[in-house]
Amino acid sequence: MPIFSHYRLCSDCCRFKLLFVRFTQLFILFHQCTLHLWDDMKNYLILLLIFFSPLISQGQDKWDLKSCIAYGLKNHRSRNVYSNEQLAAQAKAKEALAAYLPSISINGSTDNNLKVQETIIPAGLFGPTDTRVAFTKKFTTTGTVQLDQTIYDQELITGLKANKYNSKLAALNVVANDETIIYNISTAYYQIFVYREQLEFLKANQKTYAQQLAISKLQVDKGVAMESDLNKIQVNYNNNQAEVVAAESNVTLSENQLKNAMGLALSAALNVDPSANELPPNLNLIPESNSFSESNRNEYQVAEVNTSLLDIDQKRSRAGILPKISFYGRYGGNGFGDKIGESFSTITDFSAIGLKLSMSLFDGFKRGAVYNQAHYKYLNSLENLNLDKEKYRLEYENARTKMLREQVNVENNRRNIELAESVFKSTDLQYQKGVTGLTEWLDAQNSINDAQNNYLNSLYNFYLARIDLEKANGTLTNFYSSL
């Protein structure tokens, strides 16, 4: 090989190695920059997640009344029961309609006549003596296919009208179940709020007792107060602490009750957080007395449907006396033989079509008795509808009156808390100055406790009266939609 060529080859190799090294260095530098950039971006994303995670968790974990009801209407197991009843009503309608559709039946049999029946032909027809004749053989095979179609049956036609009302009744039962879910969730939800309010009051009172207890201990240590006074405060503090424990337990029990009403697992977390339009209560929600209509009540609608079904029942009983006309078509075959195989190989076919008329002329007055029972049940149903109108009007007026009363009680008891707190502040100041005694101080604090309890009772009664009024007015679904 020439020296020049060898030198050129070496030069090319060196240049290639140099390019490879430069390329490797650039790749490493680019990779390091990318890693730094990714680390920066990753840190930035982590900061964003940390910043927004409370908002995300808050949106997922907080439950207001509307979300609780929405969950219950979707997940409570009773919904499956009434949905299945709707499907059962649809199946029942198909069953009733099937009686007016054509039906096809197939019948077949093979008989082994162990002793063939014989018939006697009197003497004189085929001979001077009686003749015994068998009109069949040892084996007989018969097969038929028959189509039946009802042409006219007024009792069946009248009964088909009940399908619409049965479907409507199943739908009304679904609505009634939804209203029950809304009512149970609402009452449990408001109970949680009232118990929480009670817990806040008790903790605030506990703080007051604890502060005074610490002051009294110092006074006893210095000899300026009697130990009996300290014991009185300690007793009130202990009682308050026991009430705090009971209130915390009541909150837990109420939350479990709400979970059950929602169809939520008891082990699931439930952070109830009232929305702004729920709490504090709006005391201007009393509807006018003339806004009531019994037709809004689901129970009244169900009674109307049942009345219609009883009317159909009495008409169907009367229609049973009318004739029934049906069409039939029959095709079949008979085979006879001394051996079982011959009864199949000798089958001869036959066919027939025709009309069939059936009518009951006398059934021992049974039809009239059945009709009278259905008729009187229908008349009683009409009377009960009128009674229900009055009963539902009474329930509405009572619920409305109760809500008006509780509205006044809530307002008065809320003001009483403010007055009791004002009296306590004055008494506490006088007690600290030594102007008044511990008995007056404890009485003032107990007045706050009584005012708080009265307010909480009236508050829960107000919420309960509100739900009862919506129920009495038949507007629980509208109440849920307006939340």
Count helices and strands in the chain by DSSP H and E runs: 11, 8
Mean pLDDT confidence for 231-237: 91
Q: What is the pLDDT of residues 400-440, one digit of tens each?
A: 999 989 989 999 999 999 999 999 999 999 988 888 888 99
In this prediction, what percent of the chain has a pLDDT beyond 70? 84
The string of DSSP codes covering 368-406 is HHHHHHHHHHHHHHHHHHHHHHHHHHHHHHHHHHHHHHH
Question: CA 239 to CA 450: how far, in whole Å?
Answer: 14
Name the band, by pLDDT with cuts 50, 70 and 90, for residue 263: very high
Domain covering 69-100+153-323+362-481, topology: Outer membrane efflux proteins (OEP) (1.20.1600)
Question: CA 208 to CA 41: how far, in whole Å?
Answer: 51
Show the tokens assigned to 410.
């809530």
Question: Between residues 281 and 170, which one has the greater pLDDT?
Answer: 170
Query: Is residue 59 scored above 80 in pLDDT?
Result: no
Q: What is the pLDDT of residues 127-164, one digit of tens each?
A: 788 878 777 888 999 999 999 999 999 988 898 999 99
Name the band, by pLDDT with cuts 50, 70 and 90, for residue 126: confident
Mean pLDDT confidence for 65-83: 92
Q: What is the pLDDT of residues 310-365, one digit of tens each?
A: 999 999 988 888 899 999 999 999 999 989 998 899 899 999 999 999 988 887 78
Name the band, by pLDDT with cuts 50, 70 and 90, for residue 238: very high
- Element containing residue 357 per DSSP (H, E): strand 348-358
Query: Is residue 41 scored above 70 in pLDDT?
Result: no
Name the band, by pLDDT with cuts 50, 70 and 90, for residue 254: very high
3 state SS of 123? coil
Backbone angles phi, psi at 268, to 5 degrees: -75, 150
The average confidence (pLDDT) of the chain is 84
Mean pLDDT confidence for 172-179: 94
For residue 335, which of 107, 190, 139, 469 has the smallest C-alpha distance? 139
